[in-house]
Amino acid sequence: MMEFHEYPDREMMMLRVAQRIASELGESLRAHGRATLSVPGGTTPGPVFDTLSGVDLDWSQVSVVLNDERWVGEDNPRSNTALLRARLLHGKAAQAKLIPLYADLPDPDAALDGLIDGLLPHLPISVLLLGMGEDMHTASLFPGADNLDAALAPGAPPLMAMRAEAAGEPRITLTAPVLRAALRVHVLITGASKRAAIERAAKLTPREAPIACVLDQAQVHWAE
Ligand SMILES: O=C1O[C@H](COP(=O)(O)O)[C@@H](O)[C@H](O)[C@H]1O
């Protein structure tokens, strides 16, 4: 069952979620000497990144990887990597190691093997923050996407290329086994329609509602 946290406003939620992530990263650093944080792109998580970037942690031992990336260069406003550099990987968090999910190659399929090699030493994810679209996609696991079934399968590789009508450009995404292996899972959503969507998703299969693949182990954070 998902654990649902409702906050009085977005500002409070962003602050509390950032504090929670910082505290969980601190626990991983104390226990293992290192930690991996995975975060979404899109329009929602910026304020969490703003707070996290100023937190006192041994960021030099923290690896940061996106949940997913759109296949565009960093000069494109839709680049999740550019968002990460602008809002998280500066200040104290500038010391963190960015694990890339993009390479300057024509499509994600051509880059996949190299990106997987770069990611593997940083798994499992210590703290996973996910976003969700109103269509119940998370990372770039979109309902109806070309590789969705393969990415939900227990034996899926850690990263897969993904194409879907709603996705716009081709994407690269963490797959369900990597998301499910994360030690802590948080979902950050805002607004009435995403609340209705996640309540609907809890009654559907991951094939119908990809966010459902982690809901049994997730803390969901919501504010209007
Ligand atoms: O395309 C994406 O969408 C989801 C949700 O984004 P939001 O703008 O509705 O917050 C995001 O979690 C994912 O990382 C991103 O690539």
Residues 6+ apart with CB under 8 A from 117: none
Distances (CA, A) of 212 to 63, 141, 149, 189, 208: 26, 11, 14, 14, 8
> Strand, coil or helix: what is 78?
coil
The predicted-structure confidence for 176-190, as pLDDT tens digits, reads as follows: 999 999 999 999 999
Distances (CA, A) of 116 to 79, 110, 167, 191, 200: 19, 12, 21, 34, 33
Q: Does ligand 1 come within 6 angstroms of the Cβ of 206?
A: no
CA of 211 to the centre of ligand 1 (A): 12
CA of 54 to the centre of ligand 1 (A): 23
User: 3.40.50.2020, 3.40.50.10540, 3.60.20.10, 3.40.50.1360: which CATH number matches 3-223?
Assistant: 3.40.50.1360
Does the pTM surpass 0.95? The reply is: yes
The predicted-structure confidence for 3-52, as pLDDT tens digits, reads as follows: 999 999 999 999 999 999 999 999 999 999 999 999 999 999 999 999 99
Q: Does ligand 1 come within 6 angstroms of the Cβ of 131?
A: yes
Q: Does ligand 1 come within 6 angstroms of the Cβ of 40?
A: yes
The pLDDT confidence band at residue 1, using thresholds 50, 70 and 90, is confident
Nearest CA to ligand 1 atom 3: 42
